[in-house]
Amino acid sequence: MLSNKNIVIIGGTSGMGLSAALAFQRAGANIVALGLGEAAAGQAALELGPSATVLTGDATEEGQAEAAIAHCAERFGSLDGLYHVAGGSGRRFGDGPLHDLTLEGWERTFQLNLSSVMLSNRAAVRQFLMQKTGGALLNMGSALAFSPAPQFFATHAYAAAKAAIEGFTKSIAAYYAPQNIRANVIAPALTDTPMAQRAVQNDAIMQYVRQRQPLDGGRAGLPHDLDGLASLLLSDAASFITGQVIAVDGGWKLGN
């Protein structure tokens, strides 16, 4: 499905990003993965092998996504797709219910989850325009943007940032459609990643999640659950799909 596609994954050295990198590689893509931490990068490099490039960098810093995209274009000849997975909880900075939410929590959460997306998408669009080839953007949203869970997931800045990603992506999709640049959002519910361990290791939260995500016996999502849709949306098979927010949530938004 992705034969000879050149794809940059921001947040591609662990969790959902690494799972996608491996899936895209199996589907024929050339991969550049950018992520935080030398240990994660080293493990990703081992798993992806020498045909991929693994870089370390902070997606919230200007220039990091540009460097990954420039490397992709230099090594593989062009950029065909960007998958932005990087983000995270701002709980440790003060995100939470509004009456407890700190300004630092608000700003750091938006930096992690929205500013990083702007930086990577801007870099990719500039590359697509320079190439005059079109291309595909895929951003990571969250079911919490449109289907709250106040009992266990009351992080209001995170929900706001993920909702902003939807509006940002749709605006990009509308503006750049004449240049054949597509932009979509994939929105998971609770997925078992390093970020989700607070929830995954809590029996009460997991009992709630099994009710909200009843597919496959009721469980947390797994990183590979997103790979099929991500592969489709970055492929030529999705050449007439843009501006969409598609949930991969095990039924989360259908229940209470």
Active site residues: 158
> Cα(7)–Cα(52) distance, rounded to whole angstroms?
10
Name residue, tokens 């797709």: 81
> Cα(157)–Cα(161) distance, rounded to whole angstroms?
6
Radius of gyration of the chain (CA): 17
In what order do the strands lie in the sheet containing 6-10? Answer: 53-56, 30-35, 6-10, 81-84, 135-140, 181-188, 245-248
Half-sphere exposure of 91 (CA within 13 A, CB side): 11
> Cα(231)–Cα(81) distance, rounded to whole angstroms?
10
Helices 116-131 and 64-76 pack at an angle, to 10 degrees, of 30
CB of 61 closer than 8 Å to CB of 111: no
